[in-house]
Amino acid sequence: MARPGCPPPARRALAAARALLFWALVYSYCGLCACMAGLRLLWSIGRRPGQTFRWAVRENPPACLNDPSLGTHCYVRIKDSGLRFHYVAAGERGKPLMLLLHGFPEFWYSWRHQLREFKSEYRVVALDLRGYGETDAPSHKENYKLDCLITDIKDILESLGYNKCVLIGHDWGGMIAWLVAICYPEMVTKLIVVNFPHPSVFTEYILRHPSQLIKSGYYFFFQMPWFPEFMFTVHDFKVLKSLFTSQATGIGRKGCRLTAEDIEAYLYVFSQPGALTGPINHYRNIFSCLPLQHHEVIMPTLLLWGERDAFMEVEMAEITRIYVKNHFRLTILSEASHWLQQDQPDIVNKLIWTFLKEETTRKRE
């Protein structure tokens, strides 16, 4: 007779079989993505062997990273973890806090338009996440588990002298923002996410839609040690530049294209020794952390989405509605890319202002 609380042998066997199948899928697709990247590398070596492994040394930051109109560069050291975080802050101390979490491969500078816009009424803080930019980067991938990333935001909020904030996240920062809202709802007055669905939607959708599985292939490729970082350096970080400028993945023709100085800012940050390992380590724990045990979001939530997102299918945006147990507003911008807050900053800022100023105590629409 089975002991109370213990699953029967058949159920345990089924769970083990599902886990085996899941990890077989993860590592098989990881191997496939690695083979494709290797073939592209060989093709590049064959065509331009002299340029493939050459990149510029960037010792000095471009002037835009020290633009005083964006705010003040600050640092805070977290007592428990001992890590030092870098952030740029605009707006007077004591005003309500707006905390901005960037995606990959970005850093605080991706929020430059929002730092200028919202400082009139908020203390706006654009953070470099753990492992990014001037923030400390622990060496072991275990230090980038989702639990650590969520706790970082809670600790930073407290270290800044606040107990609540308006929380805004884009891409991977959107994932973290969702999780902070789920785990620490008392700390988030309003949640704004840009181009990332509720994590449970993402987990369920990717398993049922091969097209999204293909678009998320980099999640699997990033499971490999060192090779993803190396591929970013090929042809002087051509992959990084293409992400923001190419026709397939970059900011669209009607968007606010990055200037040469903007691109150089990204190249400066990510070309520093070891600068890519921390950001990619965020992804190296993802499959052991999902799916979630808790799902509901209870604060007013705004989800903004660029319909031309090359990495996330727009269908996930509407499904997210079922997990928000409060006012939920979804706005999809038809001509916008994945890099929405940089692509359409004027429209995005206007939508955020509208959401912040409206009364959202009523139930979700």
Residue by residue, pLDDT tens for the chain (365 residues) are 444 455 577 777 776 676 666 666 666 777 777 787 777 777 777 777 767 777 788 999 999 999 999 999 999 999 999 999 999 999 999 999 999 999 999 999 999 999 999 999 999 999 999 999 999 999 999 999 999 999 999 999 999 999 999 999 999 999 999 999 999 999 999 999 999 999 999 988 988 998 998 898 888 889 889 999 999 999 999 999 999 999 999 998 788 999 999 999 999 999 999 999 999 999 998 877 666 666 899 999 999 999 999 999 999 999 999 999 999 999 999 989 999 999 999 999 999 999 999 875 444 44
Catalytic residue among 29, 109, 283, 323: 283
Backbone phi, then psi, for 359, in 5-degree steps?
-80, 125
Closest-CA residue to 127 (of 92, 155, 163): 155
In whole angstroms, what is the distance from residue 86 CA to residue 165 CA? 18
Candidate list 136, 171, 262, 309, residue with the active-site label: 171
Out of 170, 198, 282, 338, which one is annotated catalytic? 338
Of all helices (H) and strands (E), which one includes residue 330?
strand 328-333
Q: Which secondary structure element, helix H or strand E, spans residue 218, and what is its range?
A: helix 217-221
> Is 338 a known active-site residue?
yes
pTM of the model: 0.90
Q: What's the confidence (pLDDT) of residue 7?
A: 58
Tokens of 317: 């945006």
Residue 2 confidence (pLDDT): 47
Is 266 a known active-site residue? Answer: no
327 belongs to the catalytic site: no
Identify the pLDDT of residue 363: 43
> Please, how many CA atoms are within 13 Å of residue 150, restricted to the half-sphere of its CB?
15
Domain 63-207+285-357 -> CATH class: alpha beta
First to last CA, the chain: 50
Tokens found for residue 323: 């997990």
